[in-house]
Amino acid sequence: MTRAPGAPGVSVCVLGPSGRMGRAIIDSMPGRADVRLAAAVDRPDAPGVGAPVAGTTSGVLATSALEPAFEASDVYIDFTTPMATRHAAELAVAHRRAAVIGTTGLSTGDLDAIGALAQVAPVVVAANFSLGVNLLLGLARQAARALGPDWDAEVVETHHHHKRDAPSGTALAIARAIADGRGVDYDRVKRHTRDGDVGPRPPGEIGVSSVRGGDVVGEHTATFFGIGERVELAHRATSRSIFAVGALRAAAWVVGQPPGRYDMLDVLGLR
Ligand code: NAD
């Protein structure tokens, strides 16, 4: 595989083309002038490896070889698993390859590997690539600042029954935005589970709860409970294409940026 200089748009390597998000990203590419599919890399035993990527006329074959795919592309898009994301980031360092990373449930070690890549290449990392959710993050921060810690804040997220990590990365980002708005350290006030005799709710606590079922793409509600009133900020995703379109926009944006770690607020110019 070699890069095709002069072809329009940035050339993209999609990791996990057989996955729900990989599929949505590939399906969102036709008709776009800013991105084009250059490579697709999956687990060696994933369906479709060795065959042309379904649903495109690009002639790109799905393979399991990361390094030639990095060489063939300007940027890779990664919505896979924490282990695969860490491995890809480690290999991408030598290629100084730009990246768009949407995998959630990342550990500190995984984030360190991404941080090492961000030393040599531009990397967008976001727990949620939708415009609406990024707006919600800003609104939750603003609401927390305006209402103060006397209003009890709780975040509830609902996802499909295949989702592995809990709470969702987006719920954690919303909860952190609330802590930010209050000027407190999230790790000191968070509450992710309640079970048994947990006692009265401590003032200032920020709760996060997870619901799993069916085919729900993703729902998040931040509720601020006052005395005699409450405020709810909610986002409901009904199609994965919102994340795919955001990831492609991030891929077109990130190529050519200075090395560093960015998020969707940078991509959308909302910072
Ligand atoms: P999925 O299980 O449908 O797909 C995962 C894909 O990764 C599969 O194609 C699998 O074969 C592939 N994969 C696994 N190991 C690999 C490896 N070593 N090399 C290459 N590919 C490998 O999962 P999904 O629903 O598409 O979600 C993937 C991730 O994206 C999850 O962490 C999910 O939470 C996250 N997600 C993020 C956003 C966002 O906006 N940031 C939105 C939706 C999902």
**Apex 142 CA angle, 138 and 147, nearest 5:** 150
What's the confidence (pLDDT) of residue 257? 98
The torsion angles phi and psi of 97, rounded to 5 degrees, stand at -85, 130
In this structure, which residue's CA is closest to atom 25 in ligand 1? 20
Q: Over 70: is that where the pLDDT of 89 sits?
A: yes
What's the confidence (pLDDT) of residue 8? 78
What's the confidence (pLDDT) of residue 50? 94
Ligand 1 pocket check for 102: Cβ under 6 Å:
yes
In this structure, which residue's CA is closest to atom 18 in ligand 1? 84
CA 18 to ligand 1: nearest atom: 9
Q: Over 60: is that where the pLDDT of 233 sits?
A: yes
- What is the spatial distance between Cα 265 and Cα 43, in angstroms, rounded to a whole number? 31
CA 82 to ligand 1: nearest atom: 32
Radius of gyration of the chain, Cα coordinates, nearest whole angstrom: 20
Active site residues: 159, 163
**If you measure from the C-alpha of residue 206 to the centroid of ligand 1, how many angstroms do you get, rounded to a whole number?**
28
In the chain the beta strands, taken as DSSP E runs, fall at 10-15, 35-41, 62-63, 75-78, 98-101, 122-125, 152-159, 190-191, 206-212, 218-225, 230-237, 260-262
Ligand 1 pocket check for 172: Cβ under 6 Å:
no
Check: CB of residue 170 under 8 Å from CB of residue 233: no
What's the confidence (pLDDT) of residue 40? 97
Ligand 1 pocket check for 91: Cβ under 6 Å:
no
Check: CB of residue 252 under 8 Å from CB of residue 35: yes
CA 133 to ligand 1: nearest atom: 40
Quickly list DSSP for 68-100: HHHHT-SEEEE-S-HHHHHHHHHHHHHHT-EEE
Q: Which of 28, 49, 80 to probe ligand 1 with, by most ligand atoms within 8 A of CB?
A: 80
Average pLDDT estimate for 203-221: 97
The torsion angles phi and psi of 96, rounded to 5 degrees, stand at 50, 45
| Percentage of the chain modeled with pLDDT above 70 | 97
What is the Cα 67 distance to its own chain's centre?
Answer: 23
**If you measure from the C-alpha of residue 196 to the centroid of ligand 1, how many angstroms do you get, rounded to a whole number?**
34
pLDDT in tens, 9-58: 999 999 999 999 999 999 999 999 999 999 999 999 999 999 999 877 77
pLDDT in tens, 136-159: 999 999 999 999 999 999 999 999
Q: Write down the mean pLDDT value for the chain.
A: 94
